[in-house]
Chains A and B, each alone.
Chain A
Amino acid sequence: MPPRVLIAKPGLDGHDRGAKVVAYALRDAGFEVIYTGIRHKASEIVAVAIQEDVDVIGLSILSGAHISLTSKVVNGLKANGAHDIYVVVGGTIPLSDRQKLISVGAKEVYPTGTTIDELVAGIRSICNFPDTSKDESTSSSVTSRVLET
């Protein structure tokens, strides 16, 4: 079973070019990807993550409100006992905020300038999901789906 990743955009920011590029990249890397679209409340993202039993939530935030929004998602997961779901954050994140995000509970931060390969390798490592694409015997299963919330 490939790891399941939820790509989500909390808050009001509608710029989802990056979120979709990441969703496509993870899909091509063999992950099962769920993208829920833009403008979701932290509580909605938490509910979908638990319901879909995902391994990782990737939050994409470009509005500058990343610390508050990430805290809300992390705290929501904790409050619902979902301690095993990792939260990673991407977007226009100042490097100086990286440590703050880690301290509010983010597992990893992928600021502007992160390449697709770096990001995929990072999520692979978090999920303990090694790249076997060079192994001829493995078929590259691509599963991507999207759901309504």
Chain B
Amino acid sequence: MSSDTVRPLFFETDGHIPVKPYYGPEDLPSYENEINVPGHFPFRRGNFQGGYRDRLWTFRQYAGFGTAKESNQRYRYLLSQGGTGLSVAFDLPTQCGYDSDDPEIEEEVGRVGVAIDSLADFDILFQDIPLDQISVSFTINGTAAIILAFFVAAGDRQGVPRELLRGTIQNDILKEYASRGTWIWPPTPSLRLVADTIEFCAAETPHFNAISVAGAHFRDAGATAAQEMAFTLQDGITYCDEVVSRGRLSIDQFAPQISFFFYTHGDFFEEIAKYRAGRRRWAQIVKDRYNAQDDRSSMFRFGCVCGGVSLYSAQAQNNIVRVAYEAMASVLGGVQSMFTAAWDEPFALPTEETTTFALRTQQILAYETGVARAVDPLGGSYFVEALTDDMDSELVKIMADLEGQGGMVKAIENGYVQRLIAEEAFRRQRAIESGAHPVVGLNVFQATEVPRDVQSYEMDEGALKDQRKQLAAMRRDRDDELVQQSLRTLTAAARKTDVNLMPLLIDCAKANVTVGEIVATLKEIWGEFRQPTVF
């Protein structure tokens, strides 16, 4: 590296926030109004005074592949190794609303997550996993309301009272349009479904987060840390506006069931500042914009994933170190639940061995390093507090820009958000290839090694056949009249705008209607989203 190429490394964060050589008392905000005690508004230092002393973050490893049976085995393994929550990865057909026997998507069944067609698959997925004790997170968006209906129905069949169900459904459709891509319907009916689920969870499942507003996918698509957080908070505002505008719930009746989800990448202090500033900004928004009375409404609770595009194939075991630093930054930022990616993520689905290693990374952090002892141990650090303020100013600026675009839906519909993200991705790729952004093992300190090959997961031919056979048998054996009746009722309700569809979706689930059938029915009424191709 020449001295030229290391300059950005020392003079600004990855997200282009300038960094001074040192910070002092003059850089600190007011203690009483701003830094404050953990557990007090504006929650810059955390939601709870007891922090991790009262409750450790959840070790939640994202997993799912092939059939419900194979995934169930992996979940039980993870729980047996000290995992404290589950995180379900679905295959793309389930996420986009196709059944496993749809010829349109035959090559994608079970490939990047578990294939779910009907409630029968859900029963197998959670076999011998008590849903009143293990919290389950679902990375599902386009079909989130349907999957939530399946989960509630599976809980009903296990005999678990709905108020004991614990977990989170991602259910954040806006970022799908902008960065993740599993949209189905246009924004208006999709937002309605999100609001329906939020209302349902407020009424029926008080310990289940109705939404996990996710910045992670903006980030992995290229966004800076500040953009990731600002876009996410703006999405959060859009959902709250939608629910509040219906006039059926006050902010305090549903905001405590909103959670957030991010990527933690490699810039250690920038990530810590991102979480502290995001928590602080959200608290202010909920209070000022919606006049929340209950402090729990203002609490910004978040999960994160460490890994993604911050990991590299070159000298791949270096990723273990990267993930460990990212995990520590997340904990110092006050994370509530965490997924640490396996070091082989850039080229394979993790094996049992590599995923265990990733889990151990969290366990070492929690039980050996002592970082969880005192709440917000970096509170009052001249640098961290100043960077938190700088990050907060960035958030306010970016959010004002989005409001200027007419709000998040408009900014996504006209491709504005997508363009900002793609430009950052291109800038980063150029910086890595020029050496301006150093990556150990890739563009500096390279070693001679045999390049690692990508191993894509191939669903077992037999398992795929079984999946289709079971689906065919289920279709044959179910009560057709009940199926048709459930879909007719759903259709009638969907044509209106003031009926909550959740109870009807649960009826469909129990009548063994499939994901694909429900989606197709609603497409007839709502149409399909057409992607803006401006970028």
Residues of A within 8 A of B (CB): 11-17, 20-21, 23-25, 35-39, 41, 63-66, 68-69, 92-97, 111-113, 115-117, 146-148
Q: Quick one: given A37-B533, A38-B531, A115-B433, are A12 and B95 in contact (CB under 8 Å)? A: yes
Q: Quick one: given A20-B422, A37-B533, A146-B533, are A63 and B451 in contact (CB under 8 Å)? A: no
Binds A, one of B23-31, B101-109, B497-505: B101-109
Contact B112 A37 (CB under 8 A): no
Tell which of A23, A25, A38, A92 touches B456, judged by Cβ atoms closer than 8 Å.
Answer: A92
Which residues 417-464 of B have a CB within 8 angstroms of A?
422, 425-426, 429-430, 433, 451, 453-458
In the assembled complex, the CB of A43 is this many whole angstroms from the nearest CB of chain B, namely 11
Contact A39 B535 (CB under 8 A): no
Q: Quick one: given A13-B92, A17-B222, A37-B533, are A116 and B347 in contact (CB under 8 Å)? A: no
Q: Quick one: given A38-B181, A92-B347, are A64 and B531 in contact (CB under 8 Å)? A: no
In the assembled complex, the CB of A119 is this many whole angstroms from the nearest CB of chain B, namely 11
Contact B426 A24 (CB under 8 A): yes
Tell which of A13, A66, A95, A147 touches B453, judged by Cβ atoms closer than 8 Å.
Answer: A95
Contacts A12-B105, A12-B108, A21-B426 aside, 11 further interface pairs with beta carbons under 8 A come to A11-B105, A13-B112, A14-B179, A21-B422, A35-B535, A37-B532, A38-B531, A64-B457, A64-B458, A94-B455, A112-B347
User: Which residue of chain A lies nearest to B458 when distances are taken between CB atoms in the complex?
Assistant: A64
In the assembled complex, the CB of B36 is this many whole angstroms from the nearest CB of chain A, namely 38
**B221 within 8 A of partner (CB):** yes
Contact B96 A95 (CB under 8 A): no
Contact A113 B105 (CB under 8 A): no
State A97–B347 Cα separation when bound (angstroms).
13
Of B346, B531, B534, most A-chain CB atoms within 10 Å: B531
Contact B95 A39 (CB under 8 A): no
* Residues of A contacting B455 in the complex (Cβ-Cβ under 8 angstroms): 94
In the assembled complex, the CB of B215 is this many whole angstroms from the nearest CB of chain A, namely 15
**B93 within 8 A of partner (CB):** yes
User: Which residue of chain B lies nearest to A23 when distances are taken between CB atoms in the complex?
Assistant: B535
Q: Is the interface of A mostly helix, strand, loop or mixed?
A: loop
State A26–B183 Cα separation when bound (angstroms).
28
Q: Quick one: given A11-B108, A12-B108, A39-B181, are A21 and B535 in contact (CB under 8 Å)? A: no
* Residues of A contacting B426 in the complex (Cβ-Cβ under 8 angstroms): 20-21, 24-25
State A52–B181 Cα separation when bound (angstroms).
25
* Residues of A contacting B457 in the complex (Cβ-Cβ under 8 angstroms): 64
Tell which of A15, A23, A41, A95 touches B104, judged by Cβ atoms closer than 8 Å.
Answer: A41
* Residues of A contacting B182 in the complex (Cβ-Cβ under 8 angstroms): 12, 14
Of A13, A14, A92, A93, most B-chain CB atoms within 10 Å: A14
Contact B181 A16 (CB under 8 A): yes
Contact A147 B533 (CB under 8 A): yes
Which residues 260-283 of B have a CB within 8 angstroms of A?
none
State A11–B95 Cα separation when bound (angstroms).
13
State A16–B426 Cα separation when bound (angstroms).
12
9 shortest interchain CB distances as A-B pairs: A14-B181, A64-B456, A12-B92, A65-B107, A68-B107, A20-B422, A146-B533, A94-B454, A37-B531
Tell which of A23, A38, A65 touches B108, judged by Cβ atoms closer than 8 Å.
Answer: A65
Contact A63 B112 (CB under 8 A): yes
In the assembled complex, the CB of B392 is this many whole angstroms from the nearest CB of chain A, namely 27
Contact A17 B454 (CB under 8 A): no
Contact A69 B530 (CB under 8 A): no
Contact A64 B112 (CB under 8 A): yes
User: Which residue of chain B lies nearest to A65 when distances are taken between CB atoms in the complex?
Assistant: B107
Contact B181 A15 (CB under 8 A): yes
State A21–B157 Cα separation when bound (angstroms).
48
In the assembled complex, the CB of A27 is this many whole angstroms from the nearest CB of chain B, namely 10
State A5–B425 Cα separation when bound (angstroms).
20
* Residues of A contacting B453 in the complex (Cβ-Cβ under 8 angstroms): 94-96
Contact A20 B347 (CB under 8 A): no
State A97–B533 Cα separation when bound (angstroms).
30
Per-residue CB contact flags for chain B residues 361-375 toward chain A (1 = under 8 Å, else 0) read 000000000000000
In the assembled complex, the CB of A74 is this many whole angstroms from the nearest CB of chain B, namely 15
Contact A36 B221 (CB under 8 A): no
Which residues 450-481 of B have a CB within 8 angstroms of A?
451, 453-458
**B491 within 8 A of partner (CB):** no
In the assembled complex, the CB of B435 is this many whole angstroms from the nearest CB of chain A, namely 12
Contact B433 A64 (CB under 8 A): no
In the assembled complex, the CB of B416 is this many whole angstroms from the nearest CB of chain A, namely 14
**B301 within 8 A of partner (CB):** no
Contact A17 B96 (CB under 8 A): no
In the assembled complex, the CB of B60 is this many whole angstroms from the nearest CB of chain A, namely 22
In the assembled complex, the CB of B141 is this many whole angstroms from the nearest CB of chain A, namely 10
In the assembled complex, the CB of B107 is this many whole angstroms from the nearest CB of chain A, namely 4
**B309 within 8 A of partner (CB):** yes
State A93–B455 Cα separation when bound (angstroms).
8
